[in-house]
Amino acid sequence: MMTMKLGILFSGGKDSMYAAWLARKRGYEIGCLISVFSENKESYMFHTPNIKLVKDQARVMGLPLIVVRTEGKKEEELKDLEKGILKAVGKYGLGGIVTGAVSSVYQASRVQKICNGLGIECFNPLWLRDQVELLNDLIKDKFKVIVSGVFAYPLDEKWLGREIDNEFVREMVKLKEKYKVNVAGEGGEYESFVVSCPLFKKKLEVIGFNDSGEGNSWRRELELR
């Protein structure tokens, strides 16, 4: 029986990377990565901090990358995504798409609708996972993930660049109890970037960065080698 080839809807953050890892562990072949470069930094659908660095991640994973460019207008960006997925299906013979959706019905339902229209499968291996358990599994599976953006009180610029480790999880659990934040950032509280994981042939090294923002909204643009 042939192994189904899948495309990963890929942002470079922890969720899409971990979803790719789980797909590989379950015996699926990863045909390509599909990343959306949105001009809208406030996009509800797509991760934007450090999105252009997915090219470096694809390189150390040894996987082809399909880049989808969009102005990021609501719903119009979904048409751009559909064109990108269609291109990937035709070029790499994909039978399905993998997303890193955990609890966002907005995101998951829209990707599912696109896949249904194209007659391919949609896999959401992280769907409704307990968020503390998810972060603990990332750590256990040797994912090195750093915070690349914060967008909610009480997170501020001091969280930028922090590694998601056991201490990070403990602090986020305390913030959840006090401020009702999502431990894994599912409410958009923070964004992340993966610098090392089992899918990489070599680790990426951060050699510089540029921070911008104010109050409880900050981004860190990374420089890698």
Question: Given this model, what pLDDT does residue 47 score?
Answer: 76
CA–CA separation, 162 and 211 (whole Å): 13
Distance separating the N- and C-terminal Cα atoms of the chain: 40
The token pair at 45 is 């659908």
Q: Give the residue from 73, 97, 123 where a domain finishes.
A: 123
* Amino acid at the residue 87: K
pLDDT digits (tens, 9 = 90+) for 48-69: 789 999 999 999 999 999 999 9
Q: What is the mean pLDDT of residues 59-83?
A: 93
Q: What is the mean pLDDT of residues 33-49?
A: 85
Cis peptide before 154 (omega within 30 of 0): yes
Same domain, 12 and 113: yes
* Mean confidence (pLDDT) of the chain: 95
For the whole model, what pTM was predicted?
Answer: 0.96
CA–CA separation, 37 and 47 (whole Å): 9
Question: Given this model, what pLDDT does residue 17 score?
Answer: 98
Same domain, 101 and 193: no
Question: Given this model, what pLDDT does residue 41 score?
Answer: 81
- Domain encompassing residue 41: 5-123
> How far is residue 207 CA from its own chain's centroid?
22
Question: Given this model, what pLDDT does residue 1 score?
Answer: 61
CB 77 within 8 A of CB 43: yes
We report the CATH number of the domain holding residue 80 as 3.40.50.620
pLDDT of 35 higher than 80: yes
Same domain, 118 and 43: yes
Give Cβ neighbours of residue 75 (< 8 Å, ≥ 6 apart): none
Q: What is the mean pLDDT of residues 124-153?
A: 97
Same domain, 145 and 218: yes
